[in-house]
Amino acid sequence: MEQPETDSEDEMPPGWEERCTTDGLVFYAHHSSQTTQWQHPRTNKRKKVTGELPYGWERQITEDGKVFFVDHINHKTTYTDPRLAFAVEESKTINDLRQRFDSSSTGLQVLHGRDLTGRVAVVTGANSGIGYETARTLAYHGCTVVFACRSVTKAEEAISKILAQRPNASCYALHIDLASLESVRTFAQTFAVKFDRCDILILNAGVFGLPHTLTADGLETTFQINHLSQFYLAVLLQPMLSRSAPARVVFVSAEAHRFATLDGACIEDELSPPHKATYNSITAYSNSKLCNVLTALEMQRRFGNQGLNCYAVHPGNAVSTYITRHWWVYRLIYAMVRPFTKSLQQACATSIYCAASTDISKYGGVYVNNCVPCLPSSTSLSSVISNRLWNTSLNIIQNLLGKRAFSVQTSQK
């Protein structure tokens, strides 16, 4: 009988079975010929799986030495290694990655079956919007998540919603005010004392559409909240991230970075406009998002050899979140386009993909949109501009906080 056609390259031809070695290498057995091979019989590509079992699974051995797997959540057993459901093709370059997720994918779909128990993540702005969905998705898969928020009360309320559905979730609220560099330093100090590792840092918090205002540090607010304070947090936590390597840092940027006006010649003057006359809220936002991409790529250059993978991501266009709260016109526009944009779970998918997906684990220093690596603006690819931004940002912080700026005591656990 003729076999039906299929659009799936991964579907096994008749007579073949996919199996897995204990160390994660996938091989293929043909029942008729009693032969095995490492290449997929249809795609001719090799695959591998991660060393961890999916969440809720346990590997056991019978008295006669046969290995089987127990699904404690669904109360089932099988002799098939459940990791095979999440096998990924081996790739030599990032261009070899096959796209498995897109704009319709959700964060929960990206992490389906993954077990992040033992890992610690920090998410800024985790009490609402995309940040909350990001934190919730990580917590649902066993990750310990620190909600870095300006309002601890709101963070605790968000955590209580997660605990109502996942009583065993490990979530903590810690105060951070991104409008204050001293608050960022205090957060890093408190975090380093309470935790002995940091595996994932997601710099998600941000503001949009603000009128010209200055923070207590005397800096333009959009610049400080969207870039400088989160850059500062990444620098302070970098030693912990390197010790926890492999670790990942995700800067939530936006496609708006392509409309930035920053250039290498006058970056110092454009970062934090001191006067209302030279300020435009859209330009300030676009410039801050360019800073996110520049910082992610520069951090990869500086610390990638220490086991850090750094990413800049675009969550989606006009996603309905609390970020539009500062001007009623934006709220109206975002409300009108809401039926045509991503849900919050879809908007967090790219952050989750970069923070925890095995697909992209070997590749840092990239800009990712809709869970697909793509080229950012030409300006963001300039190592000269990114290096100047990095050093300028360090100097601003050093001038404001002095010698104590980069001293953080770590836990003695």
Instruction: Give the residue numbers marked as catalytic.
Output: 285
Looking only at the bridges linking them, the beta strands covering 366-369 and 144-149 are unpaired
Report which of 279, 270, 283 is spatially closest to residue 213, judged by C-alpha positions.
279
The alpha carbon torsion through 252, 254, 259, 260 (nearest 10 deg) reads -10
Write out the two tokens for 258: 């392509």
Radius of gyration of the chain (CA): 23
Cβ neighbors of 378 (< 8 A, separation 6 or more) are none
CA–CA separation, 410 and 144 (whole Å)? 18
Taking the C-alpha atoms of residue 106 and residue 400, their distance in angstroms, rounded to an integer, is 41
Hey, what are 370's tokens? 């809709």
Residue 170: how many other CB atoms lie within 10 Å: 18
DSSP H or E run through 74:
none
CA 400 to the chain's CA centroid: 30
Nearest CA to 48 out of 71, 26, 33 is that of 26
The DSSP 8-state label assigned to residue 227 in this structure reads I
Task: Please name the residues in contact with 306: beta carbons below 8 A apart, sequence gap of 6 or more.
Answer: 242, 245
Cα separation of 55 and 111, whole Å? 10
The DSSP code for 324 is G
Tell me the two tokens of residue 156. Answer: 């605790």
Residue 295 to residue 290: CA distance in whole angstroms: 9
Tokens of 90: 């081996």
User: What tokens appear for 107 in the block?
Assistant: 């964060």
Query: Are 111 and 137 contacting, i.e. CB atoms less than 8 angstroms apart?
Result: yes
Report yes or no: 359 and 239 within 8 Å, Cβ to Cβ: no
3-state secondary structure of 341: coil
